Structure 1
Amino acid sequence: MEQLQRNPADQRSGVAELREHFEAAKKRNAMTILAPASDEVNQGHSKAKDDTTKCRRIYIARHAERVDFTFGNWTPYSFDAAGNYIRRDLNMPRTLLQRKSCHWKRDTPLTNLGRYQAHLTGEAMKDAGVQIDLVYSSPSFRCIQTASSILEGLGLLETIPIRVEPGLFEWLMWCREGLPEWLSNEELVSSGYNIAMDYKPISTAQDLSQILDESLSEYYRRNSELADQLFRTTNGNILIIGHAGTLDTCTRHLEGGGVPTTADFIRLLLKIPFCSVVAIESAVLDGNRWKLVDPPCAPMTNTKNDRFDWKVLK
């Protein structure tokens, strides 16, 4: 369990720790929540319901909180010698699909908090009057889970199947050793996920395996061209679940922006937390041009909650 505990060398004095928490609390209490008046919110929500014939909306979200970013190198301590999963923390999944731990390491699931984050996002979108007709997801399991939980919050879990699109996977520079072994559509369906079995993806895993040396500009081109094809060949409102970069790679070209430098891209990713949502709209009155508009729901903020060791009380 060493990986799930703090390294004593990284711990600071109690006084410094309290000061940090105090300063963080002061900043949080001083936050100004910028929101429209309640009547403006209600008008906006009703407009989202009434104007579907006059405009089209695409919602793009990052997946929710992932196990490996929360617990680090979690797999060596979460599976016994026989490969059976052992839950080490209440924020870890209660159960996992039968799968080798090496595959979970490269295709991490969501935490329980992550599932709840996604469900809350779906509920907020439903409260805002959002209507969804099609759902596309990266094949990463964390994205499939996020899509499923958002649909659950929207009340559309049984209504809209998820279209698994490998082309939405993140920048391949991070997979130089090879792609993760994703769960197949059949495995997902047998595990209770509503997957569109008749969907033919624009890009396959085989296609991606041929471009593992992908540059940043190639990554932006892959996602922007995929997004353009989805927008052009479908009707209705779309929900896309991808990675932090997806929010920019699928929309930047619509605003006339160029590919950022790698340094700027990394800095941008750090500003896109779990379950971030952006919205783009194409309106008849605006010449059907796509543009970024206000997201349908408020952002989500939560505090850090360190792992508790009851022995500190001894």
Structure 2
Amino acid sequence: MPERRVFIIRHGERCDFAFAKSGLWINSFDSKGRYRPLDINLPRTLPRRPDGWQGFSTDSPLTEIGYLQSKLTGRALRDNSIEINHVICSPALRCIQTTIGLLKGMALDKRLQFSVEPGLYEWMVWARYGRPCWIPPKDLKKIGYPVQENYVPCYTDKELRMSETMADYYQRSFSSMNKILAEYSEGNILIVAHGASLEACTRQLVGGDIRSSEDFYYLLNNTPYLSCVELSSREGLWRLVGRPIPSFTHTNNYTFDPVQLVTKDLESLKKERSGRDSMRTTQ
């Protein structure tokens, strides 16, 4: 039996997290939902969605940097001669856009379609603003995304329970992986999902036990955007073999305020910023 390889990748930088402190993402919409990006790192345009612009509040797109991250990662996969035969991603818009960037980076965007699997969505306890709404595959197709419309998902969005425990999330991820592996019994698979997916989609597959919540959150906090892990199998036994491409290191770039160059009272400005930072750390 030939070796099989599965690659699991976290999505890129997301708008709502990148601009959580500044509010520039939310403020880029006016009262009528018209969008005008207030930062160079916000997407220039947004896809039309059937639930309206309000749907972005629970389904954030990538930042411009996030999309670039995904293309660079796709290029690294290509440069390391990694062959991909099947692509499956979470229904979150950030994962779908990451998938597009990866395919473009690998020069596969004209050759491969991807399937959308709700079972790969993140732990539902993190859906802070209620059940998320996603853009359906048929509407993604209209936008021009190379999505496989006739894919039969392991889970429907209605089957994802808002009350699921961490153990439920592990089990859903494990079940989704088993069904995906059975559906695509040959060839290499690329899975694009969330930070916790690198752990939850692999742990039980390689024979491990569900971790404690402390260990789970430790691993999550140390899984940056576009992290990638590889699984390999011979004779049906899966093992983790580490990352298939070099690491991806980058730094934060904070908002520049030109007021600091023209103010006559720099000390007051410094104290004001220090006070804001202090309040953030205590909230």
Shift of 1:63: 0.3
Q: Give the letter aligned to residue 163 of structure 1.
A: S
Shift of 1:188: 1.1
Distance 1:74 1:138 in 2: 26
Secondary structure of the structure 2 residue equivalent to 1:252: coil
Q: 2:97 aligns with which of 145, 150, 161?
A: 145
2:237 to 289, 294, 300: 289
In the alignment, the residues of structure 2 paired with residue 146 and residue 263 of structure 1 have an alpha-carbon distance, to the nearest angstrom, of 28
Counterpart Cα distance in 1 of 2:246 and 2:223: 14
Partner Cα distance (1:68, 1:120) in 2: 22
- Whether the 8 Å CA contact 1:117–1:275 is kept in 2: the answer is yes
Maintained 8 Å contact 1:78/1:88: yes
What CA distance in whole angstroms lies between the structure 2 residues aligned with 1:245 and 1:313? 42
Alpha-carbon separation, structure 1, partners of 2:86 and 2:15: 27
Task: Write out per-residue CA displacement over residues 211-269 of structure 1, whole angstroms, 9 at most, x where no aligned residue.
Answer: 21101111101111110121123121000000011111111113322111222211211
196, 212, 230: which one aligns with 1:279? 230
* Secondary structure of residue in 1 paired with 2:125: helix
Who is 1:163 aligned against?
115
1: CA distance, partners of 2:260 / 2:89? 43
For 1:223, the equivalent position in structure 2 comes to 173
**For structure 2, which runs of at least 5 residues remain unmatched after alignment?**
263-283
Q: CA deviation at 1:199?
A: 0.7
Kindly report which structure 2 residues correspond to 1:10-159, keeping only aligned pairs within 5 A, or say none: 54-72=2-20, 73-99=23-49, 100-159=52-111
State the partner residue of 2:183.
Answer: 233
Residue 204 of structure 2 aligns to a residue whose secondary structure is: helix
2:220 aligned to 269, 278, 283, which one? 269
Confirm or deny: 8 A CA contact 1:176 1:213 kept in the other structure: no
SS, match of residue 41 in structure 2: coil
Q: Residues of 2 paired with 1:229 and 1:79: CA distance?
A: 40
- Secondary structure of the equivalent of 1:195? coil
Residue 58 of structure 2 contacts residue 129 of structure 2 at CA under 8 Å; is this kept in 1? no
The structure with the largest helix share of the pair is 1
Quote the residue 1:41 is aligned against. none
Structure 1: tracts of 5 or more residues without a match: 1-52
Q: How many positions carry a matched residue from both structures?
A: 257
Q: How does 1:183-262 map to 2 (within 5 A)?
A: 183-208=135-160, 211-234=161-184, 235-262=186-213
Distance apart, 1:75 and its partner CA: 4.5
Any idea what SS the aligned residue of 1:279 has?
A: strand
For residues 169-201 of structure 1, what are the alpha-carbon distances to aligned partners after superposition, in whole Å with 9 as ceiling and x for unaligned? 000112365321111112211212110011111
> Which residue of the partner structure matches residue 246 of structure 2?
298
RMSD: 1.5
For normalisation by structure 1, the TM-score amounts to 0.79
Determine the C-alpha separation between the residues in 1 that align with 2:105 and 2:26. Answer: 33
Q: Which letter does structure 2 place at the counterpart of 1:103?
A: G
Assess if the C-alpha contact under 8 Å between 1:118 and 1:275 holds in 2. yes
> TM-score, normalising length from structure 2?
0.87
Following TM superposition, by how much is the alpha carbon of 1:105 offset from its aligned partner in structure 2, in angstroms? 1.4
Larger mean Cα displacement after TM superposition, 258-267 or 153-162: 258-267
